[in-house]
């Protein structure tokens, strides 16, 4: 088990947002998080990346409790979150943006070793490989500000992948994209299955049903159901709380 979250409670001020939330992820799994807007999904990611500390509960990642660990430390432990606009340097090339992300992960624990053994070409190779993966290799030299909205999102994903994360958090990867861009992004996310361990927050039920190994359903800050996609689809409580009329029957 790479991630084992137990009994998390979280507040924003007086607002009690997460109520005894528990969730686990095994290495290599794609676990989807479903839930209405405001259920606490993004808040949960904020906890996993160290932007927020729980008031109680445990977040065990790779055998150690990381609850309350600062985000830069968590990034180095191998948890990456995509779709953080702030991580893009607009005037730098796409390749340099990805290279920097790869470097930032390496530098803290092996900076000197890399320098001595001339590891930089390896990082450049990693950056190019990641750009191939997300379909941006052809634009490697373009400045990050010169690409389309959809491509920016591909770049954000590349930046997350460059660190070779042990756990990848995807928060509504296709949100705000046009239908063409959405199709591309969904296809791209599908290619990650089997190669990365992923928690996916996504509202498109067909995407979730077809690519998740397991689904956890959140409702008002707790997980109300957990299971294989087919089980979740049949679960009456889930249908009432979340799926409503949009569940395929
Ligand atoms: N920075 C914040 N300060 C105060 N309340 C917040 C903050 N962020 C989110 N919330 C509240 O926490 C609850 C859960 O939000 P969120 O985790 O974003 O839900 P989801 O991602 O499932 O839509 C909502 O009621 C939201 O209004
Ligand atoms: Mg959210």
One pLDDT digit (tens) per residue for the chain, 249 residues: 999 999 999 999 999 999 999 999 999 999 999 999 999 999 999 999 999 999 999 999 999 999 999 998 998 899 999 866 667 899 999 999 999 888 877 655 554 454 544 457 788 889 999 999 999 999 999 999 999 989 999 999 999 999 889 999 999 999 989 999 999 999 999 999 999 999 999 988 889 999 999 999 999 999 999 999 999 988 887 887 776 544 444
pLDDT of residue 115: 52
Q: Quote the strand ranges of the chain, DSSP E.
A: 3-12, 15-25, 30-34, 56-61, 64-65, 79-81, 167-171, 198-201, 214-219, 222-227
Residue at a domain's end among 140, 163, 186:
163
**Does residue 83 lie in a domain region?**
no
Are 147 and 178 within one domain? Answer: no
Question: Total structural domains in the chain?
Answer: 2
Joined together, the tokens standing for residue 102 give 């790869």
> In the numeric block, which tokens belong to residue 195?
């190669």
Give the C-alpha separation, 35 to 202, whole Å. Answer: 9
Q: Is the CB of 38 under 6 A from ligand 1?
A: yes
Q: Taking the C-alpha atoms of 85, 52, 48 and 75 in order, what is their torsion angle to the nearest 10 degrees?
A: 60
Asked if 178 and 230 sit in the same domain, the reply is yes
User: 196 lies in a domain?
Assistant: yes
Atom 17 of ligand 1 has which residue's CA nearest to it? 40
Answer yes or no: do 154 and 170 share one domain: no
146 and 109 belong to one structural domain: yes
Ligand 1 in contact with 35 (CB < 6 A)?
A: yes
Return the CATH number at 187. Answer: 3.40.50.300
Asked if residue 23 is part of any domain, the answer here is: yes
Please work out whether the CB of residue 42 comes within 6 Å of at least one atom of ligand 1: yes
Answer yes or no: is 24 within a domain. Answer: yes
Same domain, 154 and 220: no
Residues 158 and 169 in one domain: no
* Same-domain status, 17 and 54: yes
> CB within 8 A of 242, min separation 6: which ones?
34, 35, 36, 217, 219
Sign of the alpha-carbon torsion through 181, 182, 186, 187: negative
Tell me which ligand sits closest to the C-alpha of residue 19.
1
Residues 221 and 116 grouped into a single domain: no
Structural domain of 175? 1-78+165-249
Instruction: Indicate if ligand 1 lies below 6 Å from the C-beta of 235.
Output: no
Ligand showing the shortest atom-to-Cα distance for residue 170: 2
CA distance 28 to 31: 10
């Amino acid at each position: 088990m790479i991630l084992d979250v137990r009994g998390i409670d979280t507040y924003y001020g007086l607002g009690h947002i997460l109520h005894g939330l528990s969730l686990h992820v095994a290495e290599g799994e794609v676990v989807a998080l479903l839930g209405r807007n405001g259920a606490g999904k993004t808040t949960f990611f904020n906890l996993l990346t160290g932007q927020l500390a729980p008031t109680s509960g445990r977040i065990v990642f790779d055998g150690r409790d990381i609850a309350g660990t600062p985000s830069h430390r968590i990034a180095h432990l191998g948890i990456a979150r995509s779709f953080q606009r702030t991580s893009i340097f607009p005037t730098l090339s796409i390749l340099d943006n990805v290279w920097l992300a790869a470097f930032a992960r390496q530098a803290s624990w092996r900076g000197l070793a890399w320098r001595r053994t001339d590891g930089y070409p390896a990082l450049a190779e990693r950056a190019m490989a990641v750009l191939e993966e997300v379909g941006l290799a052809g634009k490697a030299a373009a400045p990050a500000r010169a690409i389309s909205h959809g491509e920016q999102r591909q770049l954000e994903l590349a930046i997350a992948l460059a660190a070779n994360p042990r756990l990848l958090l995807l928060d509504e990867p296709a949100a705000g994209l046009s239908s063409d861009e959405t199709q591309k992004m969904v296809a791209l996310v599908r290619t990650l299955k089997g190669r990365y361990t992923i928690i996916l927050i996504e509202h498109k039920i067909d995407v979730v049903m077809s690519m998740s190994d397991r689904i956890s359903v959140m409702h008002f800050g707790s997980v109300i159901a957990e299971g294989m996609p087919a089980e979740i689809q049949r679960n009456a409580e889930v249908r009432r709380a979340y799926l409503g009329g949009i569940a395929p029957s």
